[in-house]
Amino acid sequence: MQINKQSNKPYYEQIVFGIKEDILKGILIPGDKIPSVRDMAALLLTNPNTVSKAYKELEAQDVILTVRGRGTFVKDSATSSPSSKQMDKIKTKLQEAVVEALYFEVPLEEIQSWVKQTIQEFGGEINGNY
Amino acid sequence: MQINKQSNKPYYEQIVFGIKEDILKGILIPGDKIPSVRDMAALLLTNPNTVSKAYKELEAQDVILTVRGRGTFVKDSATSSPSSKQMDKIKTKLQEAVVEALYFEVPLEEIQSWVKQTIQEFGGEINGNY
Amino acid sequence: MQINKQSNKPYYEQIVFGIKEDILKGILIPGDKIPSVRDMAALLLTNPNTVSKAYKELEAQDVILTVRGRGTFVKDSATSSPSSKQMDKIKTKLQEAVVEALYFEVPLEEIQSWVKQTIQEFGGEINGNY
Amino acid sequence: MQINKQSNKPYYEQIVFGIKEDILKGILIPGDKIPSVRDMAALLLTNPNTVSKAYKELEAQDVILTVRGRGTFVKDSATSSPSSKQMDKIKTKLQEAVVEALYFEVPLEEIQSWVKQTIQEFGGEINGNY
DNA sequence: GTGGTCTAGACCACG
DNA sequence: GTGGTCTAGACCACG
């Protein structure tokens, strides 16, 4: 995992997203201890406060569990069901991306293929009749 | 088109997106004159500076064209081909939305259906066997 | 509203609680603009970052709404329904306080009276047959 | 008694609270010897330092008494009268819990019922016309 | 060693 | 003028 310092995306959001990616990819599994705030900051060449902010956000989203004095752990993903608010947010984000693509005349097949690729890369088993 | 003042999305981005939506929907077609910065600001109950910023962004993206003294016009979409940079940005945005959805265990069928719905609403002609 | 710098309660939590109190008391009503992060920091003789943290927490709890560049506003309390998690937390907190009181042999009548007083001070109209 | 390692409440506070609960419930009665720091640590699968901290806190609150070489004992509750400082703390804690509940529009009846339940569970004899 | 809180101060995006 | 992000660095509570 790395922070793209050129991106206009805040560092802490990149960390939040990166952790989720690692969980989806199976690099991190439920129960795993993730690096301490300080270690992660050293790894990512950023400030501990920034990592701390990311971890707090991840905890608010029920992705990790942090125990004072002991560390931070990956939660069971089954536990974390999104609120309808989060659901709406995700849906809107997806739709906006699609509209954007359509506007710039990305061929439909390509849009579909991007989605499929991502699902295959991150989504694990896919039903045959899809 | 309206601005959602509750949204955490910047007003100017909402305007940029709204114009693109209107074009995709056919409400605006190439060559159409769009309201002046001041008129649009009045329509949207917002600050002219905000509209101006949105128009500049739309011009940078080759979506509209401002002719001094004559007004602002919707460009021919054929003219506006996205740079590979824009293309990457769109792809990344789409993938991130999908990853987010996967993380929160949105069923694959639902993700697909969201994409299809959006395409059908905005994308015009869709091949039957798609 | 004031921060008790002697208290072991974090400043930012005191601010969160203080805002809720002011809403319950009617000092703040839905739609009201609350002081900017900087102004509030000056009022409370604390650091803007601390106020910012409090405001973020209040927004996460659906108590206030912050609009970039415009300010921070009190939300309609009807909108903010607590999650079952929040509910559990509140219940636990209340029960712990009661257990503590019982342990130190606070008379039952006194415990009841504390609760009633608080309800009368903050709860507005109370049904007669209570 | 058990420690909830998921809770964000410090372990030592959980122990302090747990002992008080046991006394209120009658599981522990004045004069009872409670497990040594080491035994308790083994029982609770935690660090002896943590138990030690809890015992010190309980001693400071006049709940238990440690006699060097003989062990740790539950004090007579009559002996342990709270300082007015402790009293204020308890009152504040209770009021805060009630304010929190009111803010989130927990019905008054429910707040009352939570208090009653707790009293009935822990408080022993309750006057009929209460 | 772990995360939590707080300060001081900088720079930025938005309206 | 508004909130958001980030850094650097301090001190603290907990285990």
pLDDT in tens, B78-127: 666 667 778 888 999 999 999 999 988 899 999 999 999 999 988 755 44
Query: Does a structural domain hold residue A90?
Result: yes
pLDDT higher than threshold 50 for residue B49: yes
The amino acid that residue B14 corresponds to is Q
DSSP D123: S
Residue D63 main-chain phi, psi, to 5 deg: -95, -35
Handedness of CA D115, D121, D125, D126 (dihedral sign): positive
Three-class SS state of D65: strand
Q: Are residues B73 and B27 in the same domain?
A: yes
Q: Are residues D72 and D15 in the same domain?
A: yes
pLDDT higher than threshold 70 for residue A81: no
Determine whether the distance from the CB of A68 to the nearest atom of strand E is below 7 Å: yes
Q: Are residues C50 and C107 in the same domain?
A: no
Interface with B, mutate which of C59, C67, C80 (most B CBs under 10 A): C67
Return d(Cα B69, Cα B37) in angstroms, integer.
Answer: 13
CB atoms within 10 A of CB C41: 18
pLDDT higher than threshold 70 for residue C125: no
| Per-residue confidence (pLDDT) for residue D126, from 0 to 100 | 42
Decide: residue A107, CB within 10 A, 0-12 exposed, 13-18 middle, 19+ buried: exposed
> Percent of chain C scored above 70 by pLDDT?
90
Decide: residue D127, CB within 10 A, 0-12 exposed, 13-18 middle, 19+ buried: exposed
The amino acid that residue A106 corresponds to is V
The amino acid that residue A74 corresponds to is V
Q: A17: alpha, beta or left, given left = phi > 0 and alpha = psi -120 to 50?
A: alpha
**In B, which residues are within 8 Å of A102 by CB distance?**
24, 118-119, 122-123
More confident of the two residues D128 and C112: C112
CA B72 to chain centroid, in Å, comes to: 17
Q: Are residues C58 and C117 in the same domain?
A: no
Return d(Cα A25, Cα B103) in angstroms, integer.
Answer: 10
Nucleotides of F under 7 A from a protein CB: 1-10, 13-15
Query: Residue at minimal CA–C1' distance from F14?
Result: A69
Q: Are residues C74 and C88 in the same domain?
A: no
Q: How far is CA B123 from CA A35, A95, A107, B36, in A?
A: 45, 12, 10, 28
Query: Does a structural domain hold residue B40?
Result: yes
Three-class SS state of B2: coil
Q: Are residues D22 and D71 in the same domain?
A: yes
CA A43 to chain centroid, in Å, comes to: 18
| Total structural domains within chain D | 2
Using the Cβ of A78 and the Cβ atoms of chain D, whether some distance falls under 8 Å is answered with: no
Mean pLDDT of B31-60: 94
CB atoms within 10 A of CB A61: 17
Which protein residues have a C-beta closer than 7 A to any atom of strand F? A 10-13, 46-50, 53, 68-70; C 36-39, 49, 52, 55-56, 66, 68-72; D 10-13, 46-47, 49-50, 53
Q: Are residues C36 and C74 in the same domain?
A: yes
Q: Are residues B72 and B102 in the same domain?
A: no
Query: Does a structural domain hold residue D66?
Result: yes
Query: Does a structural domain hold residue C93?
Result: yes
Specify the CATH number for the domain of residue D38. Answer: 1.10.10.10
| Per-residue confidence (pLDDT) for residue D28, from 0 to 100 | 92
| Per-residue confidence (pLDDT) for residue B51, from 0 to 100 | 96
Please identify which residue in the block is written with the tokens 């609270």. Answer: D17
Q: Are residues A74 and A90 in the same domain?
A: no
Cβ-contact D91, D98 below 8 angstroms: no
> CA at D77, C1' at F11: how many angstroms apart?
38
Among candidates D38, D39, D47, which has minimal Cα distance to D12?
D47
Express each pLDDT in A3-13 by its tens digit: 999 999 999 99
Express each pLDDT in C33-92 by its tens digit: 999 999 999 999 999 999 999 999 999 888 999 988 889 999 976 665 677 778 888 999
Average pLDDT, chain B: 88
Orientation angle between helical segments D84-103 and D108-122, nearest 10 degrees: 140
DSSP D9: S
Nearest chain B residue to A92 by CA distance is: B97
Q: A45: alpha, beta or left, given left = phi > 0 and alpha = psi -120 to 50?
A: left
Return d(Cα D2, Cα D45) in angstroms, integer.
Answer: 9
Query: Does a structural domain hold residue D2?
Result: no
Return d(Cα D87, Cα C106) in angstroms, integer.
Answer: 8
Q: Are residues A61 and A102 in the same domain?
A: no
Instruction: Report A:38-77 residues touching D (Cβ under 8 A).
Output: 65, 67-68
Express each pLDDT in C94-111 by its tens digit: 999 999 999 888 899 999
Using the Cβ of D95 and the Cβ atoms of chain C, whether some distance falls under 8 Å is answered with: yes
* Residue B127 C-alpha, separation from nearest chain A C-alpha, in angstroms: 9
Using the Cβ of B10 and the Cβ atoms of chain C, whether some distance falls under 8 Å is answered with: yes
> CA at D62, C1' at E3: how many angstroms apart?
31
**In C, which residues are within 8 Å of B14 by CB distance?**
none
Q: Are residues B44 and B62 in the same domain?
A: yes
Nearest chain D residue to C16 by CA distance is: D100
| Per-residue confidence (pLDDT) for residue C31, from 0 to 100 | 92
Can you give the pLDDT of all 130 residues of chain D as single tens digits?
A: 899 988 889 999 999 999 999 999 889 999 999 999 999 999 999 999 999 999 999 999 889 999 988 999 998 766 666 677 788 889 999 999 999 999 888 999 999 999 999 999 887 554 433 3
Query: Does a structural domain hold residue D126?
Result: no
Cβ-contact C94, D111 below 8 angstroms: yes
Decide: residue B19, CB within 10 A, 0-12 exposed, 13-18 middle, 19+ buried: buried
Residue D15 main-chain phi, psi, to 5 deg: -70, -45
Query: Does a structural domain hold residue A74?
Result: yes
Instruction: Domain of residue B98: give its range.
Output: 84-121
Query: Does a structural domain hold residue A5?
Result: no
| Per-residue confidence (pLDDT) for residue B95, from 0 to 100 | 93
Q: Which of B63, B87, B122 sits opposite A99 (nearest CB)?
A: B122
Q: Are residues B90 and B74 in the same domain?
A: no
pLDDT higher than threshold 60 for residue C127: no
Q: How far is CA C112 from CA C109, D16, D112, D115, in A?
A: 5, 24, 8, 8
Using the Cβ of D107 and the Cβ atoms of chain A, whether some distance falls under 8 Å is answered with: no
